[in-house]
């Protein structure tokens, strides 16, 4: 089995946003939220603007706001590719965030 | 005497020029670090998109228009990436030379090239020569952001996706400067569209070794459908390639400027040395002349008293 965690890598066009391990990720897929757990079947999916939640193995949650893009999952590695995105905890009002 | 004053003022003005060149060189040097950082930050995105495109290619026979275009439309687009400012040596002029070459070649092959220009220098060059340009962009050639790449790729993709009757183009070429290292930058012509996707080599392995089983692509599912994933990924792929070109051109521009300014600073220093030597010689000559005059007149007075 693939284990209980997976690698997550979130990148935007300008800079990487977050990377680490997680036990669950909720992405805003084209038709509502799509939950991805470790060992998910390989998938390439279009996502839309919305919130993205990463749950770390110790239960901590990270929320991100992302614009449209796509995700790809294989070999227990999730890559989220978006135009722009930002972490919800520290909302920066600068050029890196969403207008 | 007047020539000494003239020399002094020339030395002063060359000295202030030297300071300007030196400052420009240092600014360029600091921009290099920035350009490198921007390129580094954009790399994970480009890699991720490239991986996705590889996955798509290995799964399907792509018939998307970005990859292949039907019909023989003679109109093609040429995008030239030039600089906003001068003082970068031959940067813009070599791009323009290469662009002219390409335009002539395309016209010779019976195509109708349409010109797209990025960078103020290139735009004003063609404006002055009354050459029609399909679209131009200016600003931020030293550190092109995603927005610029977005604007350019959107315009070009739109031109590309339009049908031939509506004035669409069938190919897209980019003339940009490749950053090889700090000293060497090379002008390159790249055919961006239709996209040439290199299929990963068919693993012609002999026997079941673990290496090849690890490399086998997993069977993907595409959500919502393969076509929609293609629609989402391929334009982004093109845009990230264009962004890559812009970043590389920016790094080259900055490196060119640093080199040019370095040479200019050295030239200014040489000139100052030269002028100082001339000034010293002329001052020495005038002192000698004065001394001769004084000694001569003193001698004449002494002779009279005797």
The complex's ipTM works out to 0.79
CATH number at residue B172: 3.40.1380.10
Residue B193 lies in a domain: yes
A contact test, residue of B44, B144, B246 with most A CBs within 10 A: B44
Residue B143 lies in a domain: yes
Residue B295 lies in a domain: no
pLDDT of residue B261: 94
Highest mean pLDDT among A31-40, B17-26, B210-219, B242-251: B17-26
Residue B22 lies in a domain: no
Domain tally for chain B? Answer: 1
Q: Which of B41, B48, B228 sits opposite A79 (nearest CB)?
A: B48
CB contact under 8 A, B42 and A13: yes
pLDDT of residue B203: 44
Residue A58 DSSP code: T
Evaluate whether B88 touches B260 at the Cβ level (below 8 Å): yes
Residue B229 lies in a domain: yes
Question: Comparing B217 with A39, which gets the higher pLDDT?
Answer: A39
Nearest chain B CA: its distance from A61 CA (Å): 23
pLDDT in tens, chain A (99 residues): 457 889 999 998 888 888 899 999 999 888 888 899 998 888 888 988 888 989 888 888 888 888 888 898 888 889 999 888 888 765 444 444 444
Query: Beta strands B171-179 and B185-193: pairing type?
Result: antiparallel
Of the pLDDT bands very low, low, confident and very high (cuts 50, 70, 90), residue B14 is very high
Contacts of A15 in chain B (CB under 8 A): 41-42
CATH level 3 topology of A6-87: ATP Synthase; domain 1 (2.60.15)
Report the predicted TM-score, pTM, of the whole model to 2 decimal places: 0.79
Give the structural domain span for B247.
58-198+221-259
Residue B92 lies in a domain: yes
Q: Check CB contact of A11 with chain B, cutoff 8 Å.
A: yes
Contacts of A29 in chain B (CB under 8 A): 223
Question: Comparing B214 with B170, which gets the higher pLDDT?
Answer: B170
């Amino acid at each position: 089995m693939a284990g209980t965690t997976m690698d997550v890598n979130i990148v935007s066009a300008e800079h990487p946003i977050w990377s680490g391990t997680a036990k669950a990720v909720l992405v805003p897929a084209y038709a509502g939220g799509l939950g991805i757990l470790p060992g998910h079947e390989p998938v390439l999916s279009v996502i839309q603007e919305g919130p993205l939640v990463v749950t770390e193995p110790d239960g901590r949650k990270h929320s991100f706001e992302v614009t449209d893009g796509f995700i790809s999952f294989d070999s227990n590695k999730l890559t989220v590719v978006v135009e722009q995105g930002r972490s919800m905890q520290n909302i920066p009002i600068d050029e890196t965030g969403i207008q | 005497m007047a020539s000494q004053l003239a020399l002094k003022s020339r030395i002063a003005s060359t000295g202030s020029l030297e300071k300007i060149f030196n400052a420009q060189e240092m600014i360029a040097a600091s921009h290099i670090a920035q350009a490198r950082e921007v390129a580094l930050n954009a790399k994970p995105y480009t890699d991720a998109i490239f991986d996705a495109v590889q996955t798509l290619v290995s799964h399907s026979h792509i018939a998307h228009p970005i990859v292949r275009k039907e019909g023989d439309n003679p109109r093609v687009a040429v995008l030239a990436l030039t600089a906003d400012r001068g003082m970068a040596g031959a940067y813009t002029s070599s791009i323009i030379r290469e662009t002219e070459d390409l335009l002539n070649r395309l016209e010779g092959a019976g195509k109708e090239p349409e010109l797209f220009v990025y960078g103020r220098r290139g735009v004003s060059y063609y404006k002055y020569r009354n050459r029609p340009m399909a679209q131009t962009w200016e600003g931020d050639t030293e550190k092109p952001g995603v927005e610029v790449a977005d604007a350019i790729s959107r315009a070009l993709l739109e031109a590309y996706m339009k049908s031939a009757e509506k004035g669409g183009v069938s190919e897209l070429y980019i003339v940009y400067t490749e950053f090889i290292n700090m000293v060497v930058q090379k002008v390159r012509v790249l055919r961006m569209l239709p996209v040439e996707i290199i299929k990963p080599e068919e693993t012609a392995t002999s026997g079941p070794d673990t290496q090849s089983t690890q490399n086998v692509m997993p069977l993907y599912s595409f959500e919502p459908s393969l076509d929609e994933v293609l629609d989402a990924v391929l334009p982004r792929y093109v845009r990230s390639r264009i962004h890559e070109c812009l970043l590389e051109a920016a790094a080259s521009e900055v490196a060119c400027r640093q080199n040019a300014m370095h040479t200019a600073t050295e030239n200014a220093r040489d000139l100052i040395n030269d002028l100082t030597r001339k000034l010293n010689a002329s001052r020495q000559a005038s002192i000698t002349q004065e001394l001769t005059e004084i000694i001569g007149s003193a001698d004449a007075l002494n002779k009279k008293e005797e």
